[in-house]
Amino acid sequence: MGKKTKVAFAIAAAGAAAWAGSKAISKPQKRQDKVSLQYEHPIILAHRGGSLIAPENSMVAFKKSAELGVHGFEIDIRLTKNEEIIVFHDEYVDRTTDGSGRVADLTLSELKAFDLGYQFVNDHQEFEYRGQGETVITLRELFEEFPQMLINIDMKDSPETYEGSLIPSKLWRLIEELNVQNRIVVTSFYDEQIDRFNLYAQNSVALGAGVIEVRKAYSAFTSQFGHLYHPRADVVQIPVKSGVFPLDSEGFIHFLTNLNVSVHYWTINDSQTMERLLQLGAKGIITDRPDVALSLLPDNLA
Q: What is the pLDDT of residues 190-202, one digit of tens each?
A: 999 999 999 999 9
What are the residue ranges of helices labelled H in the chain?
Answer: 3-25, 59-68, 108-111, 139-145, 162-178, 191-201, 211-222, 250-257, 271-280, 290-294, 297-301
pTM across the whole model: 0.89
More confident residue, 7 or 246: 246
Q: What pLDDT was estimated at residue 271?
A: 95
Q: Are strands 184-187 and 150-155 parallel, antiparallel or unpaired?
A: parallel
Confidence check: pLDDT of 13 > 50: no
The Cα–Cα gap between 251 and 30 comes to: 17
Cα 294 to chain centroid distance, Å, stands at 19
Query: Which is more confident, 238 or 98?
Result: 238
Question: What is the pLDDT, as a whole number, of residue 22?
Answer: 46
Residues comprising the chain, all counted: 302
User: Would you say residue 25 has pLDDT above 70?
Assistant: no
The angle formed by the CA atoms of residues 248, 253 and 255, to the nearest 5 degrees, is 135
- Which CATH topology does 36-90+136-301 take? TIM Barrel (3.20.20)
pLDDT of residue 98: 58
Give strand pairing partners of 185.
152, 206
In order of 54, 138, 140, the CA distances from 62 in angstroms are 9, 13, 14
Q: What is the pLDDT of residue 122?
A: 87
Q: For residue 132, give Cα distances in angstroms to 1, 149, 173.
A: 82, 25, 32
Report the C-alpha gap between 102 and 292 in whole angstroms.
34
pLDDT of residue 126: 92
| 3-state secondary structure at position 186 | strand
Residue 96 pLDDT grade (very low, low, confident, very high; cuts 50, 70, 90): low
**pLDDT score, position 301:** 42
How does residue 27 score in pLDDT terms, banded at 50, 70 and 90?
low
Spatial distance between the Cα atoms of 90 and 156, rounded to a whole number of angstroms? 8
Q: What's the mean pLDDT when you consider all of the chain?
A: 89
State the DSSP code for 293: H
Query: Residues 139-165: pLDDT tens digits?
Result: 999 999 999 999 999 999 999 999 999
Span 232-251, average pLDDT: 95
